[in-house]
Structure 1
């Protein structure tokens, strides 16, 4: 089973139907004459103020917000694009693939920076870093890693402490995890050395950032690699337990994006929600928009480290995907 790969682009259709939603909530009154169905990979807690402020402007609208993982979101939407009005995901490559394949409505009336959109159909609205997050108490007396090489060294030098206590995404199940991993591998060979070290420590594999953060706080793991920094920083209840590290050797940052389904039954309403989302990220307060806006982590060029461009889809080629996942399994799973 070592080389069994769950390919994101070939998820068996019935699995998507069989799975329950991670969360499903309805906002607004049931008697509202208009309704909007949003398919998202973003935890509901981040979108509550965004949706509530939208409904405050449109009390005649109810919003159903459905949450699932990035790979499952991609599979579900491809199967039933007419069941959803707006699609929101952190997996930039999968979002771009859907838009490229004609699933996204072109919205020519929206004003947005060229680097944060693709063909007026896919719109980025956050910039969020992949981070190293550690259980602060566990590193008492140890050097806090500033780079991936630093992390390799501290894990090697304290192997007994970190055995079974390092977590990262399972790239076979997480679209965002796969995106982060492929971008890391493109940027530096350090990624593969780090995966081998983490693998030798019997890595714990996760579908989602939220689960990794929960386990960090509980001490079930002591280090999480490539976890979403925005999710960790948002957890005020455990902020004193965790340290969020943005590696200084090279940044890996994604842009969360949204598009209107080309099969939506109410294009104008769906477009108005995406427009509201874009406006809030640039003008809203932290209370109104609790995610990092587009300008939160810009470099001097004004662009994030992962660009919204067709090159993102290169690793979605089935052969490349199989090869990458086999190499990842060889490094991370080892004798498990």
Structure 2
């Protein structure tokens, strides 16, 4: 019997350590009444102040915050949905499909704009544009491109400066990168011309915005395409090095979303966390150094096209469409 127990403990211990988290931190008292497990694609540095404020109002709780990539988050949650209380991700399409597949608990008593929620189950709490971020040193004496077409012209004019020093998401691995790429491709053929030009010069592919920004600051790359502007803005140490460009031809703007898992062991506390998060963003509205960009007012949403929360998000999650898109992307980028 003792050996059986040892095998059981060993099995569950292996499961507990199998996930390779980018970060895993526990916030709150050492002996809490309840511990919320939050799985997220957002770096801990952005969420630590939010969690601290939440726990100040709920001192009986603790929060375990687990960070992984958008694609890994979707896969990990689907494999063990009962293990998590709150799910937060920048990949709006993957989040929407999780909700559509019945993985979200409704939070009915929450005040939130209609355009920033879906059926009281999925809630947006930031508005964040995809940006072209450049290392200023590479553009000394030259204009910084303001559109995708201008970026193409800049790369073609000085290929020796940019060869092997360009970066973007690997859309085969990054859920957010795939979302941005499909939205870009739907908007204009310029996207495919840009990918072909960048691919021909040797394109560095990344899982995450943070890694791209790190390499931008060191000069390993000098242009990052479709990187999250909010992550670049947060790098106060690199403000003199980096230039954030929101393309004027057509902006691609996502909303970071969260939901309460329908399998949550503490749904009432998980709902309280979502209410707090949504309310805090609207109340702060970007003031007081809040770590994440707020939801834009409705009038700004109309001026700056934002990816909408709705069934259209799942178009490119269709297996055949995704296969065809990735094949076309590889043909353009992997040269």
Q: When the two structures are superposed, what TM-score results if normalisation uses the length of structure 1?
A: 0.92
Instruction: Write the distance in 2 (CA, Å) between the matches of 1:288 and 1:251.
Output: 25
Partner of 1:265: 265
Partner of 2:241: 241
* Contact 2:251/2:304 (8 A) holds in 1: no
Instruction: Write the distance in 2 (CA, Å) between the matches of 1:127 and 1:87.
Output: 17
Mark the CA change 1:16 to 1:213 in structure 2 (over 3 Å): closer, same or farther.
farther
Instruction: Write the distance in 2 (CA, Å) between the matches of 1:71 and 1:120.
Output: 24
Mark the CA change 1:299 to 1:73 in structure 2 (over 3 Å): closer, same or farther.
same
Instruction: Write the distance in 2 (CA, Å) between the matches of 1:125 and 1:202.
Output: 36
Q: After TM superposition, where is structure 1 displaced by more than 2 Å over at least 4 residues in a row?
A: 14-19, 284-289, 296-304
Instruction: Write the distance in 2 (CA, Å) between the matches of 1:135 and 1:16.
Output: 41
Instruction: Write the distance in 2 (CA, Å) between the matches of 1:191 and 1:26.
Output: 41
* Contact 1:49/1:287 (8 A) holds in 2: no
Aligned residue pairs total 321
Partner of 1:101: 101
Deviation at 1:304, TM superposition (A): 4.6
Partner of 2:321: 320
Deviation at 1:34, TM superposition (A): 1.4
Deviation at 1:192, TM superposition (A): 0.1
Deviation at 1:295, TM superposition (A): 1.3
Deviation at 1:237, TM superposition (A): 1.0
Could you tell me which runs of 5 or more consecutive residues in structure 2 were left unpaired when the two chains were aligned: 1-13
Largest Rg, 1 or 2: 2
Q: Deviations over 1:90-124 (max 9, x none)?
A: 00000000000000001111111111001110000
Instruction: Write the distance in 1 (CA, Å) between the matches of 2:94 and 2:289.
Output: 27
Any idea what SS the aligned residue of 1:250 has? coil
For the aligned residue pairs, the C-alpha RMSD in angstroms reads 1.8
Instruction: Write the distance in 1 (CA, Å) between the matches of 2:289 and 2:173.
Output: 31
Answering whether residue 97 of structure 2 is matched by residue 92 of structure 1, we say: no
Which structure features the higher share of helix residues?
2
Partner of 1:252: 252
Instruction: Write the distance in 2 (CA, Å) between the matches of 1:210 and 1:132.
Output: 14
Deviation at 1:17, TM superposition (A): 8.0
* Contact 2:169/2:177 (8 A) holds in 1: yes
Answering whether residue 171 of structure 2 is matched by residue 196 of structure 1, we say: no
Q: When the two structures are superposed, what TM-score results if normalisation uses the length of structure 2?
A: 0.93
